[in-house]
Amino acid sequence: MKASETAAEKTAAKKAPANKAETKAAEPKKTAAKKTAEKKTAEKKPAEKKPAAKKAPAKKAAPVIEETPAAPTAPVVEEAPAPEYHEPETPRRSICFIGSECYPFVKTGGLGDVMYALPKALVKQNCDVKVILPRYKSIPWEYQEKMIYRGAFHMDLCADGRSFYVGIMEYVWDGVVYDFIDNDEFFSYGNPYTNLIDDIPRYIYFGKAALAALNYMDWIPDVIHCHDWQAGLVPVFLRTQFANTAIGHAAVMLTIHNLRFQGIYNIPTIKYWSGLPDYVFNKDALKQGYEDANMLKGGLTYCNMITTVSGTYAGEIQTSFYGEKLDDHLRYHSGKLRGIVNGIDYDIWNTATDSRLGVNYDITNVLEKKKEAKRMLQEELGLEQDDHKFVIGLISRLTNQKGLDLVNAIIPQIMDEHTQIVILGTGDAEYEDSFRYYENAYKGNVCSNIMYDETRSHKIYAGADALLVPSLFEPCGLTQLIAMHYGTIPIVRETGGLKDTVEPYNVYTNWGNGFTFDNYDAGLLLDAINRAKTLYFTNRWCWDEMVQRDMDKDVSWDSSARQYKQLYLEMTPR
């Protein structure tokens, strides 16, 4: 019962109604404290900026509220807002996330953000959450040093019975328990992905070790929630080698964050490393084509529920264009396929408190402060400093998924004396080189940051006027959500989550969140950018309204976490 010890503090609420009451009582206080803090920020901002004093209803309350924390009457006020922030409690469920990356330990893209933010949001939805990750050597020391040794054992892995060490290192943070699978043979290199020859064995090992670790810790969740191909074999192991063990009773969900990556390798290699029985290598499960095995495909077959990260993408992947050769398999399993759009973490992405920005702002002063953020960005990047220029940002992995062929084709047409482009990304050499070329060709107005840099990304989200996301396909996309939350107007292709989250601007109703185009065509992207520029330069009033509307849009995890919780409950009826 070792794992239950860790979970004890959290699961205590499950056992005694009295505890539940205590939790409830404690939560409103937290919420109220948060709210007070938010109010204080909101109050301080207008105070700095005299012209905004009109919007000062909050100001009036300031002295009273600041004094209330000490006053015994506070609980009366605090109890009222609680229902706004906490759903009427749905039954408690324990969930174990298994995936290959998680911010801030290791992140290469959106998966890392989701693995961090969704568990946190689920804790608020009355879930007990554990996240299992590989302990990569590249995890910063500041986290490594805080990990606590939870135990170790040896696990049989391969078809010939070769066994491997499994260490468990634990780190608890924000109500979420992170267990890192420790094995130097697999995780002492790479960042975190290297090449399939190495990655196939390491993630086969990881999937099995995660389940073995849960049994070892005697922490049996209601639902195991796996992510992408790296955890694709988890459902297969669960229903075969682990079927008659304690963990075999758990329900299992598999989320597709990007169908392009599936973990495909020849059957003998996957059979050897996994030691899985022959019957799973049939064409309804792992087998693909004549001689390959597909880890994601196997997981889709054996899981109880498949989700992907937007409703539109859930439909798209059942078509041959977006289906990456799994469209028929997904159509077959469509009865258990759902789409839930991602959110962003408001603690990290908060313009009012973001310490990575040179200037903080909120919806009340965004129009002025964003100009400052733009100037700072221009200065830092060596661009001509001019608030009147229309600054277009692009923050992306540089791969053909992201529509960079379209961008490359039209940069000369976008560039005029009123426009600047800031690119941040790493990836394929062809795009890195072409963006470097454009930086040189348009010195002072194009800046290509060929690097991965969190801090710079925050500054671009704040300092740019618009953000380009012209993806060929986009399961959900986080950059357009972050952009909107930072008052930066997205220009996106209508695909996947981009279609679900960015309502096209309608010039007649003056409503919408950004500029969109449908077919994958450079001319249409150019047209969307030109429509954005036209509004920006000729009708700034409407542009500014859209900036504020976008900042106000709810792109948090709250609603998505609620939908995940609903699915967990559906999967585990009592």
Which parts of this chain interact with ligand ADP (CB under 6 A)? 109-110, 113, 395-397, 424-426, 452-454, 457, 476-479
234: tokens are 């988890």
**Shortest Å, Cβ 107 to ligand ADP:** 7
Residue whose structure tokens are 């998966």: 111
**Shortest Å, Cβ 382 to ligand ADP:** 18
DSSP 22: H
**Shortest Å, Cβ 474 to ligand ADP:** 7
**Shortest Å, Cβ 111 to ligand ADP:** 6
- Do 87 and 122 form a contact (C-beta atoms < 8 A)? no
Q: Is 1 exposed, middle or buried (0-12, 13-18, 19+ CB in 10 A)?
A: exposed
Phi and psi at residue 556, in whole multiples of 5°? Answer: -80, 175
Of 247 and 395, which has the nearer Cβ to ligand ADP?
395
Identify the bridge partners of residue 446 per DSSP, sorted by sequence position. 421
Of 213 and 476, which has the nearer Cβ to ligand ADP?
476
Of 45 and 493, which has the nearer Cβ to ligand ADP?
493
Of 110 and 275, which has the nearer Cβ to ligand ADP?
110
Of 183 and 501, which has the nearer Cβ to ligand ADP?
501
Of 396 and 434, which has the nearer Cβ to ligand ADP?
396
Instruction: Assign 276 to helix, strand or coil.
Output: coil
**Shortest Å, Cβ 132 to ligand ADP:** 20
**Shortest Å, Cβ 467 to ligand ADP:** 10
Per-residue three-class SS string for 480-543: HHHHHHCCCEEEEECCHHHHHHCCECECCCCECCEEEECCCCHHHHHHHHHHHHHHHHHCHHHH
Instruction: Assign 339 to helix, strand or coil.
Output: strand
Q: What share of the chain is helix, strand, coil (3-state, %, to 5)?
A: 50, 20, 35
**Shortest Å, Cβ 476 to ligand ADP:** 6
Residue whose structure tokens are 């066994």: 163
DSSP 50: G
**Shortest Å, Cβ 480 to ligand ADP:** 7
Identify the bridge partners of residue 515 per DSSP, sorted by sequence position. 491
**Shortest Å, Cβ 448 to ligand ADP:** 11
Of 256 and 267, which has the nearer Cβ to ligand ADP?
256
- Which residue number has the CB closest to ligand ADP? 110
Distance CA 493, CA 472 (A): 8
Of 209 and 398, which has the nearer Cβ to ligand ADP?
398
Of 113 and 128, which has the nearer Cβ to ligand ADP?
113
Sheet containing 223-227: order of strands: 148-156, 163-173, 176-182, 127-134, 93-98, 223-227, 251-256, 305-308, 337-339
